[in-house]
Structure 1
Amino acid sequence: MKKVILGLTTLCLVAFTSCKDNAAAKIEETNVTAAAERDANASNFPVLEFDKKEHDFGEIVAKTPVETVFNYTNTGDAPLVITDIKSSCGCTVPQNWSREPLAPGASGKFTVKFNGSGSNKVTKSITVTANTEKGTEVVRITAFVKPEAAKS
């Protein structure tokens, strides 16, 4: 058993010391430059800025559909990609946003439709998922929903 262990140890030592290839010599300078540039750009994020963070519809009658538009600008240093926009419930529907990358300094918009459900003060959140540093941004809509008029 000792001979087997001694033999394996000797074999391992020969294998590790016989490799004369220098890994550092195989690195290409262009790859190092590209990696450094990539790492420097990795800290640049797009910044999603809205013209308003909340929209108040005021008083509306129940079941009256209303809509608003949220405008946004990419004020960061990298292209902005919005991957999803979701609302806190099915009565609020975000739509019409671009899935294409938005260059720094460029603007976009999306529409939010609310079907007027609920009663009294209603607040709904719309979560925008994007490649920003935080990953998500939230805007809100509010309304005071009055009951429908009694039918005669």
Structure 2
Amino acid sequence: MRLELLAISLSFAAILSSCENEERLSSDLINISATASSVKSDAETLLPAIGFEVTEYDFGTITAGRKVYREFQFTNTGNAPLLIANVHPQCGCTATKDWPKEPIKPGEGGTIKVEFDSTDRTGKQKKIIDVITNATPPTARLLLNGVVIGPDFTSEDI
């Protein structure tokens, strides 16, 4: 019994002393303000940013069944390579035809091609396309707006 009590006491003492050392080490690392601010400022300055010439396109009034094509031009306005992970339309009637899959260097740009198919659509249309990137914020939004009229309607009917 005494041997068990001695073993438990030694184990408890070892645990307490190791916890005390870990805490001191981690707090020492946290309190080095020069290192922390240096890392933070480097991370803040090395960020990509996506800037579009135009984020919204009004295609006017079209007849149902017609397709609308649009190219959105953008530039990496940040100071780190920009990656476009995905271009995601929020509706099945809108498709993204093409966008750069390789990193875009700071100051360089590219084009995102979008297609809207007005088949089986009538009335006012607002189509949203989300561009998912490694920039901050990570999502940029593109819009297609317009009116689709059926073969028996005119723009005055809407």
Task: State TM-score, norm by structure 1.
Answer: 0.76
**Aligned length in residues:** 134
C-alpha distance 146-14 of structure 1, shift in aligned 2 (>3 A): closer
Alignment-mate amino acid for residue 58 of structure 1:
G
Alignment-mate amino acid for residue 47 of structure 1:
A
Alignment-mate amino acid for residue 43 of structure 2:
A
**What per-residue deviation string (whole Å, max 9, x for no partner) do you get for residues 52-109 of structure 1?**
1100100111010110100011101111000000111111111211111111111111
Q: Counterpart of 1:107? A: 109
Alignment-mate amino acid for residue 5 of structure 2:
I
Q: Counterpart of 1:92? A: 94
Unaligned runs of 5+ in 2: 19-24, 26-36, 154-158
Find out whether 1:57 has 2:66 as its counterpart.
no
Q: Counterpart of 1:68? A: 70
Shift of 1:146: 1.1
Alignment-mate amino acid for residue 107 of structure 2:
G
Identity of aligned residues (%): 30
SS state at 1:80 partner: coil
Q: Counterpart of 1:20? A: none
Shift of 1:133: 1.4
Task: State TM-score, norm by structure 2.
Answer: 0.73
Higher helix share: 2
Alignment-mate amino acid for residue 110 of structure 1:
I
Distance 1:88 1:14 in 2: 58
**What per-residue deviation string (whole Å, max 9, x for no partner) do you get for residues 95-152 of structure 1?**
21111111111111111101114212100000000001121111100111111259xx
SS state at 1:10 partner: helix
Q: What's the RMSD between the two structures over aligned residues? A: 2.7
Shift of 1:47: 0.9
Q: Counterpart of 2:32? A: none
C-alpha distance 41-102 of structure 1, shift in aligned 2 (>3 A): farther
Shift of 1:11: 6.1
Unaligned runs of 5+ in 1: 18-23, 25-35
